[in-house]
Amino acid sequence: MLRLDIVNGPNLGRLGQRQPEIYGRQNWSEILSELHEEYPELQLQQFQSNHEGALIDYLEALAEGNSRGVIMNPGALTHQSYALRDAVAALEIPVVEVHLSNIYAREPFRAHSLIAPVAVGQISGFGPSGYRLAVAYFVDYLQRI
């Protein structure tokens, strides 16, 4: 079974509660449940942490495992964590960066991603559908390689 990992950074554990006007009303369990329903043939492994080091440890462990791709929403660490960027760059599996909100239409500091240059792509501004779009990308990509 094809495995993809979804890695969510700070504050994403409070989806549906935290600023729903920006991040939507769906909680993470609902989003993940929809992904499992739409892609039953995939093993979707999810990890969320508010701690930069825990995210880096998880990514480093993926280098040893059987994951075929990473869908990552680094949260605010997108704009400030060189350590997380380096962990993504060190991976030999592709990473797609996802953001629920359009980071380019918000505060100016959010318009710069440290992760984007080391990811295969970025999906921003489509709400929870961004995760589905990233999974669809990987399904297509992995069938072609």
Q: Report the catalytic residues.
A: 99
Of 89, 77, 88, 62, the closest CA to residue 11 belongs to 77
For the chain, the straight-line distance linking the first and the last C-alpha, in angstroms and rounded, comes to: 16
Please say whether the beta carbons of 93 and 69 come within 8 A. Answer: yes
Alpha-carbon gap, residue 64 to 131, rounded angstroms: 24
- Whether residue 53 contacts residue 44, with contact meaning beta carbons closer than 8 Å, is answered with no
- Compute the C-alpha angle 48/51/54, nearest 5°: 70
Question: d(Cα 124, Cα 102) in Å, to the nearest integer?
Answer: 5
